[in-house]
Structure formats: structure tokens, C-alpha cells
Amino acid sequence: MRVAPEYMPSVKLVAFLERGEEIVASAAKATLSPREFESIALSMSQENLEKWLSELIARGHGSPLEHTLYIFEVICSRVCSHQLVRHRHASYSQLSQRFSDKYLGEFIDQVVSELSSKQPVEFSEKRELLEAYLQRASQISFEELLGIVGKAFIVPLSIIKRRDREFLLMLIRSVIDYYRLLGSGVPYEDARYTLPQSIKTRIIVSMNARELVEVFLPLRMCSRAQWEIRTIAWLMWRELISAHPRIFKYAGPRCVLFENRARREICSLEDYLSGKCEFTIERCPEKIPRDCIHACLLNGFREADLTVGGTA
């Protein structure tokens, strides 16, 4: 698992079918062989396993890829979770904002620690605590403020690059307003309307290999994707390549998917990134011309790598 700063999104692969590669390759062979599925799986050599899996990617024979499942825990903003759930061939379970204030609670705990204050219990006490912290904000460095705000919010890269303190202060003010509303008797389900979309959420995501290889990763790893979901897609790929490298080493942005479908011998994403394999398609699906595709791919990779590395 790649450890990202708290103000950045994070991904953890929490479960998958250990025999997923074997199941997928055997399912592919079962479409042609008269033998029983279990017999095919038991006799599948490592060499044939690699061959069947690469052929699936190269030929676009996607249905066998649906027989293996991956479950992720994703921590991101509400902006990003709304993008995630647009992928319909997946399952989701999201932390309730109505019944849980997990990340706001962690934010409050950090402010308590910074102010050496007693733990607030009432909504009015939480509001007063945050107001006291806000008054001290001018004495707090941008990095310290970012670290504390990052307990409850995802902070956009553009804000970090600009070192925009006012943006961070606006987030704190929104939480003050939230607790003011709760303290006045407004129910959780209505008070949350005042919280920005950058508020953190946790969502459990289940996708099969076909959705990942053919849809989610190609769309969301692309340098044209919004930065947060692009970061999540690259983090997912890192987790997947560790779990099932013979499937996911060929996965990548749409330029990689289209190129592998067009060429005689498919290449891994790492080979495209290093320049070992060159692009032959005239243009990628985003209309980037052939001689610019490698630079575009590399740029998307580097931006995602910088994000999770915590470099602004």
C-alpha cells in the first residue's frame, strides 16, 4: 500500500481472489476446450497461464476477466466519490455523512491536541474550540494548517501549489457553521448541507478485472482525468500489479489499451512508460498525436506519483 499524506486520497486493496489469474485464464480456455473447468485449472502451467491472460488483453476477450473480483477501501473527497459511482459495473458501500462524523471527529481531536484543550462534548463546545483555533491561524504555518485541515478534508493540488491559506480557513469556517447549526437543533442530515464537497468520505469499491482493465483504469489513469480520481486510479493500479501482475501489467490509460489492441505483441505499461515500447497508433482516443502520446502518458504518471508522494 502506498502511504499518501492525509490531505490526499488513498487506496487500499482489502480483498481479492487469490486464484484470480488462474480462474480467468482457465475460463478463457474453457470457451474452447471440451474438458471440465476444474481439470483445465489444475493442469494450467505457468507458461500457459501467462499466454492465455495476455491473449485476453490483446484480443479484447473480456468476459473471462469478469470472474475475478477486487475490493478496495478508498478515502477521498465527496467530489471524487461522485465520480467513482458513475462506474456502474461496480458495487459501493459509503460511509454515511448523516450518521457518522468520523473525519470531523479526527479533525477536532487534532485541534484539541494543538490547543491543549479539554475534549469538547457539546456542539457549542466544538464550535468554540474551532473559533479559538481560527483566531490563532495567523501564527500557524501553511504546512501545519494543511496537516490539521487534512484530517477532515482533501485539499486540491492547485491550492497547495498556491499555498492558499484562505482556502484552508474557509474549510474551518464551514465546520464552525456545521456545529453552530447542530447546536441550534438542525438535524445532521440538514446541517451537512453547509459542508464543502472536499470533506473526506470512505467508500468500499468492488470491481471485476474487466471493469478495471477495459473501463475504469483506461478512463481514470489518463492525464486528462480530474487529478483526484486519476491519483486513485494509479494507486489502484499499484495495488493490483502487486496482487495479479500477469493481468494488470498490461492495464493502463486508454492510449495503452488501444495500442495493445492494435499491435502484434502487447507491451506492459512499464515498457510504455520507459520508452521500451513505442506507440504506433496515429492518435490516442483523446486525439493526442502519436509523437506526443509518450510524453502525455509520462506526465500523467509523474503527476500522480508526485501527488501520493506528498510533493506540492
Q: Burial of 122 by CB count in 10 Å (0-12 exposed, 13-18 middle, 19+ buried)?
A: exposed
Reduced 3-state DSSP string for 258-286: HHHHHCCCCCCHHHHHHCCCCCCCCECCC
Which runs of consecutive H residues, i.e. helices, occur in the chain?
20-30, 37-43, 46-59, 78-84, 102-115, 123-135, 142-149, 157-162, 165-183, 188-191, 209-210, 217-220, 227-243, 245-248, 254-262, 269-274, 290-309
Reduced 3-state DSSP string for 6-46: CCCCEEEEEEECCCHHHHHHHHHHHCCCCCCHHHHHHHCCH
Catalytic residue among 220, 230, 246, 254: 220
For 50, the grid coordinates are 501467462
> Rounded to whole angstroms, how far apart are CA atoms 55 and 296?
27
For 78, the grid coordinates are 465527496
Sign of CA dihedral 237, 238, 240, 244: positive
Q: Nearest Cα to 243, choosing from 7, 14, 3, 24?
A: 14
Q: Nearest Cα to 174, choosing from 214, 132, 208, 130?
A: 130
For 147, the grid coordinates are 496537516
Known catalytic residue at 59: no
For 39, the grid coordinates are 481439470
Name the β-bridge partners of 48.
none
Residues classed as catalytic: 220
